[in-house]
Structure 1
């Protein structure tokens, strides 16, 4: 057994898993506030990556300035989506709102292909050194940055929900919208804030992936790849999203090791998380940390 190769893959899996955890938190944010699964989440990653790429390549903005500008844009864009498109859907069946997010996904994909074309574009060089050596392991510099940023965002998100005024308002709204309104909380504002933060967090993940792989429409597939992590952790659990992301990241890379060393199927890396998704839904449909709903009839 190639232990060195396995260790390298597991380290990569841990780093990528934290990135999955960040994207999974974006899913959970919207679901906790609105009870809606956003199927346009992957496109928010892609939009964030294209916006940052445009600032860096077309306007020659340095990365240290372009990244905050991208986050500000995505924050405003998330509010715009909620206010203009989704707010009129308040009171409609949940399935109708979900279908709107699927439509948004298609519209965003078409618009981005029209604006930027279909050819992948390399992301501008961000770091002088492309990789760092830790012991005998080679890790891409952007992954180290991703790990640091992801952990910081997770800590920040934990603080946000436990201490901040808006975080407490979101928790109250997620628990019961009518009770939250009776306490003076603006549910519409909470919905808009959830979409804004979700879009901003997605942009961070989108830029990190783009630095490694370039920017292309295929980047939006991360919205689907992360879905097993969301289900594994629990759709309404921020902590579960983080744990689920790390587990799926490690599982993907372990599957790659088993496939390359023993099975030689060629696609186990891609499909292993979805095998896990099916098993989770059969055994524990609410996930590891999700809240189990009990309905009495």
Structure 2
């Protein structure tokens, strides 16, 4: 399935009241970049800024965890976003954090969610119009209905790991093997036992996913059979959504995202950790 729209398509629908444009730019804490400040300096006309750190459950101390239905509905509605609109998300990397917003809106019951191919960089490179300043959305109602089957928690991931079920990690190979330290202080290095590794950027080309055939080849080479259930993970639940997007694109229909990801797993004393390459075997 194609989850993208082109810049030409979006340019033709800028004034379409059934389309809601969402800037979901997010940057790793160590980059020094501020998504909201950059949004105010210039964004696609009509867009609102979706702060994945703010539209979240912050009670457990983990970053950008899914909030409950009521909270999400209220916060999305305050941004003028309705579950009945066609929601088009983008980010200023090209394709990095937009899939997290795509996944969030999808699991919260949005009717149709698309990602802008090439994101903000492609839009800007083509000389298309920009707006500055804060958005002033008209509040609406977002009727959220959480699809719990699309989300995995710690206990479910632990059970899957123990059983040798499919878990796919989007972090870099060096972080997966434990050779590189985690960017967040206090976390162990390594990976969830029995998990496989597929750095998310191997799936991306020019701000979009590679072809379906390439995606399936890369996924299978990582030891994953997309016809079987799979849990995706990463550092904090952002790039795990890139893996989920790629899996869904090639037809996988039993994909769950581990929302706590390594920030939760690597910070728990009771979570088993392996280092080195992934275990042999797989698809």
Q: TM-score, normalised by structure 2?
A: 0.25
Q: RCO (CA 8 Å, sep 6+): is it higher in 1 or 2? A: 1
User: Whose strand proportion is higher, 1 or 2?
Assistant: 2
